[in-house]
Structure 1
Amino acid sequence: MNQKVLFTPSKIKNKTLANRFIVAPMTRISAEKDGRANETMQHYYERYAKGGYSAVISEGIYLDESYSQGYYNQPGLANDEHTNAWKPVVKAVQDKGALMIAQLMHAGGQSQGNIYTGETIAPSTAAPKGEQLGFYGGYGSFQTPQSAQDEDLKQIKKAFVQSALRAKEAGFDGVELHGANGYLLDQFLTDYLNYRKDAYGGTVENRLRLILEVIDEVRAAVGESYIIGIRMSQIKVTDSDHKWADGEKEAEAIFSALGNTSLNYVHVTDGDGSAPAFGENSRTLAEAAKVFGKLPVIANGGLGTPEKAAAVIGNDEADFISLGTSALANPDLPNKVEKEKRLQEFDFEKTLLPQAEIKEHELNQQLVK
């Protein structure tokens, strides 16, 4: 496949992206203890814009001073101090020619570190599968969450709205709602985490309801010209084997519903973004999103080689490629690919959390305890 397709411009809403490379959201746990972005984060994000990426999606940002935080040292958009702290970070990225999008995240029952409360909230009293992530400061099983009541659902929607408005004030080009990887919005969509008997549980239409309401309320708040996207997945942080129960049929229901909203793009992530997502000879998750949702699609998952990335774009399965570990290993990957330079392999120990960040995190954990 001709790799030149990766360097053709394309649009999301009213913004033109110079190429098809986007930096994926990645948890970094390098914010201040109180959730403020800092100079370390500014350097981290700015280097991707210098390296040729057309857009950068932030790590998951928590929404409020309640249940949304998922990790200690996670950045927030929950108050004025958070908003102001993000402004120089966003400006640094934009000054280097890239868009910057804020990923808005409510951890729900998957929270493993919250400075505001020791409790968690979720659709039902069902704890996530698996163990907390040790390299992000967690240990042991997840606690059993509270089941969200009607007032909690109103507060959750309000938190998404308020953080979206703060993102706009901070200068972000748009927001991405985190509906993937086992966090709160995805918990509502997940059959084994949502056994509610009300309008938010049961059928796929009901399990989608909160997501659709959040989209509508955020759009009403930020206006028609502001970018709103969503990230979706079948897999979870601690359940990489999960599949939607009805496979491609369920994918059609989900992506068709999302396509009928005011969203400007859908961002999908899978273990291998170029592989069939629903069994042998089925569509990839990106292709399903594009066919059924009819919106611009960002594909993520093992697409760090230019050959695979070009194939996904060239076959019209997606419009953009987002890179996580490949971007960590190659902050200048687009520039390298364009100049036909060799790419670095990802090394978990050296690349995921630089030693300075690990030491800072360990110190903060001691202060918390």
Structure 2
Amino acid sequence: MTQTANTHPALNTGSIQNLELANRYVLAPMSRASATEDGVPTAEMAEYYARFAKGGFGLLIAEGAYPDTTFSQAYSNQPGLCTDAQQEGWRQVVEAVHAQGSKIVLQLIHAGAVSQVVDVPHGPSPIRPEGHMLQMYGTKQGPYEEPAELCEKDIAALKAGFVQAAKRAEKAGFDGVEIHCANGYLLDQFLTPETNLRNAPYGGSVENRIRLTCEIIAEVRAICRQDFVTGVRLSQAKATQPDYFWMGGLDDARVIFSAVAEAGASFIHFASERNGYFYHSSTKDGVRLTKLAREITGLPVIANGGLEDFSLSAQILSEGEADFLAIGKSAMCNPDLPNRIANQQLLKDFTFEVFSYGIQVSGQLKWEAEQSA
């Protein structure tokens, strides 16, 4: 039978832990640098997220918030979740999304060595990240700096920051959090042998290198209510290394997936946004990691990477390679993407002209106003 839009498997209901979702479409977290200078989410951000909920996304993953005021902030005007004011700002975002009938979780992210705002970035080891700082983000530009090495006291403090931020997210009304261990940020720096030259307990074997992420997941699960979703984002590629693959391939994957599941993760979000789903949701040998994660852990898996493609996304869900589809850039130009699929409407092509006036939400709204004038 020919697949038609209104029978697309992504329109089926789904669940993560006890969280019932209207469909399989997930808004991927996208850094928009639109908070106040002190990291407080704004009313404009609440309206921005609400339109994705109104557009039919069953689950929204809000952009990465920094969990402490020491070394974690990545870029200017990034939202945080370590003060009362930030918590109240996020509450407005959550209420706006819930009012439209969608669920929302918050990504918690620590920049580590790739911070573009802190005076002295800190990382697992004093290894300078490859590449250059991201344009339009942060107060610094040019090559990344060599970070200072985190001491045991620093690690204990940053771990506590994640846990306290998760508790604040629960108080703000979020349905859960996503712990960010991907894309070359701090927890991924611990996972990556080239940037982690430490010895045990957090360096050496892959079991040691994923340990900090697992400890954070376990402690968040212990402090928050039982039905509070606690997922994890993983990736092979990094923001400045789009062709990076896990050194140990399948062996690393089996250890990593098993470890986060045993720690209590509610879902695995496998990011492949830089070069597309087939490229980075697989090993170099072409073994699909999203499917492997489902088989090893039994957890819901969120796939990512060009999944606005109608046929590709249907294939991934129908063949059991993933349970949910995270949509990023295409969602910027199609905040009503799920509704468009359900109503058999064409999608608008993503264009980088969205950022003509900067990466902030206000810049996009200005550009959109010009297009409709």
1:214 to 213, 216, 222: 216
Equivalent runs, 1:255-294 vs 2, <5 Å: 255-270=257-272, 271-275=275-279, 277-283=282-288, 285-294=289-298
TM-superposition CA deviations, 1:189-228 (whole Å, max 9, x none):
0010000123111110110111111111111111322110
1:186 to 164, 184, 188: 188
Name the structure 1 match of 2:33: 29
Equivalent runs, 1:50-65 vs 2, <5 Å: 50-65=54-69
Q: Aligned pairs, how many?
A: 356
Taking every aligned residue pair, what percent have the same amino acid on both sides?
Answer: 42
Q: Match of 1:135, SS?
A: coil
1:274–1:308 contact (8 Å) kept in structure 2? no
2:334 to 319, 326, 330: 330
Q: Match of 2:181, SS?
A: strand
Name the structure 1 match of 2:370: none
Cα distance in 2 for residues equivalent to 1:219 and 1:232: 18
2:39–2:80 contact (8 Å) kept in structure 1? yes
Q: 1:247 to 1:44 in 2, by over 3 A?
A: same
Q: 1:316 to 1:77 in 2, by over 3 A?
A: same
Q: Match of 2:221, SS?
A: helix
1:273–1:286 contact (8 Å) kept in structure 2? no
Letter of the 2:136 counterpart: F
Give yes or no for the alignment of 1:16 onto 2:17: no
Give yes or no for the alignment of 1:295 onto 2:299: yes
Q: Match of 1:251, SS?
A: helix
Q: Match of 1:250, SS?
A: helix
Q: Match of 1:180, SS?
A: strand
Letter of the 1:107 counterpart: A
Scaled by the length of structure 2, the TM-score of the pair is 0.92
Aligned alpha-carbon RMSD (Å): 1.7
2:68–2:80 contact (8 Å) kept in structure 1? yes
Please report how far the alpha carbon of residue 65 of structure 1 lies from its aligned counterpart in structure 2 after TM superposition: 1.2
2:133–2:143 contact (8 Å) kept in structure 1? yes
Q: Match of 1:136, SS?
A: coil
Scaled by the length of structure 1, the TM-score of the pair is 0.93
Give yes or no for the alignment of 1:95 onto 2:96: no
Letter of the 1:126 counterpart: I
Q: Match of 1:260, SS?
A: helix
Letter of the 2:190 counterpart: F
Moved over 3 A (4+): 351-360
Cα distance in 2 for residues equivalent to 1:72 and 1:286: 33
Name the structure 2 match of 1:339: 343
User: Comparing 253-262 with 140-149, which one deviates more in the overlay?
Assistant: 253-262
Letter of the 1:260 counterpart: E
Q: Can you give the 5+ residue segments of structure 2 that lack an aligned partner in the other structure?
A: 366-373
User: Comparing 118-127 with 266-275, which one deviates more in the overlay?
Assistant: 266-275
1:274–1:312 contact (8 Å) kept in structure 2? no
Cα distance in 1 for residues equivalent to 2:194 and 2:215: 22
Cα distance in 1 for residues equivalent to 2:286 and 2:206: 24
1:110–1:142 contact (8 Å) kept in structure 2? yes
2:354–2:364 contact (8 Å) kept in structure 1? no
Q: 1:16 to 1:356 in 2, by over 3 A?
A: closer
Equivalent runs, 1:125-136 vs 2, <5 Å: 125-136=126-137
Cα distance in 1 for residues equivalent to 2:74 and 2:56: 30
User: Comparing 182-191 with 347-356, which one deviates more in the overlay?
Assistant: 347-356
2:255 to 240, 244, 253: 253
TM-superposition CA deviations, 1:6-52 (whole Å, max 9, x none):
11111111111011001000000010001000012111101100100
Q: 1:66 to 1:297 in 2, by over 3 A?
A: same
Q: Match of 2:8, SS?
A: helix
Q: 1:356 to 1:198 in 2, by over 3 A?
A: closer
Name the structure 2 match of 1:168: 170
